[in-house]
Structure 1
């Protein structure tokens, strides 16, 4: 006979396996071009109950955040590397190009980046880490006189998300993406 603690551990292990399976199926759906992330469909394909999926992911956005966690952590690492760059402006340019490329490659990532609210505390922590790194980068660029004084990390994220939206609305034209990014970079410079 197993104790209550042992059964709890087994249930937690089972729940963890179910979560991994749901995420695996959702990734497969995305890889096959289905970005609807219908929780009922994912439950059926994962061979778990709908309630199991909803316990882990109360809505589509929560599932999307979980799927994008690794990519978002890569963005945070890139922002931290840019903040450490000797040339703050070059680091900012590199970071913006990287983030825009990621957002254009993956609409789910763009949605998590643009979202005003987060379903998961981990996403909120990563966004806070991202904002800290970008704020440090902007402070260094301001001190060097390379960018305007009134721009903040959240402004940069919103502007970048706006560019992503504009490029998608125009048919994902890579040339437009570069032009819009150049406009943003010029707009970040101090007024003349």
Structure 2
């Protein structure tokens, strides 16, 4: 059985096995510290033809999307839980911390999160679900007067990706910087005084 998010329309049994093998090898390469995800190398290691890999994943980004589907679903679930939180500002804080942690732990997931276009319909669907939950959360926070009125869900996602990039590009690996950046974002979301 293939985990949710790893397979689109029903595939022939041999095609499904090949796709699963490619994803397994890609995960093994990532676990070994190789995040280059060179499709030709993955094809060789998976024992399939290069054309097979490109049929399932026409680009490196498409492969990242497939590898990130489960993590993306977790983020959507966290956003929906935050949107249902009694205190919308507390829910927003918790969601932003969770999302930043997820993105900073996985640069491929961060790239999928910040990408303006999606290779897979499932990714686009997950982004729409995420933006819908965040929009609902922001609406509730706006009504309570906790955040400014001119910030939309897409803005929050972009700002969070900017923080993730700032953390990744920093010279030190100080986790306190992430908290500082997140505090700056949260302060910036407050209504103007």
| TM norm structure 2 | 0.93
SS at match of 1:73: helix
**Deviations along 1:112-171, whole A, 9 cap, x unmatched?**
111111110100000000000000000000000000000000000000000001111113
Q: Matches of 1:29 and 1:162 in 2, distance apart?
A: 27
Question: Secondary structure, in 3 states, of the residue corresponding to 2:12?
Answer: helix
Q: Specify the alignment match of 2:183 in structure 1.
A: 182
The structure with more radius of gyration:
1
**1:139 lines up with 2:130 in the alignment:** no
Is 1:18 the counterpart of 2:18? The answer is yes
Shift of 1:172: 3.2
Tell me the number of residue pairs that the alignment of Structure 1 and Structure 2 aligns. Answer: 182
Does structure 1 residue 47 correspond to structure 2 residue 47? yes
Q: Show the counterpart of 2:76.
A: 76
Distance in 2, Cα, partners of 1:44 & 1:186: 49
- Unaligned runs of 5+ residues in structure 1 are 1-10
Q: Indicate the residue corresponding to 1:7 in structure 2.
A: none
**Deviations, residues 36-91 of structure 1 (Å, cap 9, x unaligned):** 00000000000000000000000100000000000000000000000000000000
Residue 101 of structure 2 corresponds to: 101
How high is the TM-score relative to the length of structure 1? 0.94
Q: Partner of 2:128 in structure 1?
A: 128
Alpha-carbon distance in structure 1 between the residues aligned to 2:92 and 2:22: 36
Gaps of 5+ in 2: 1-10
Q: Report the CA distance between 1:173 and its aligned residue.
A: 2.2
Structure (1/2) with the larger helix percentage: 1
SS of residue paired to 1:177 = helix
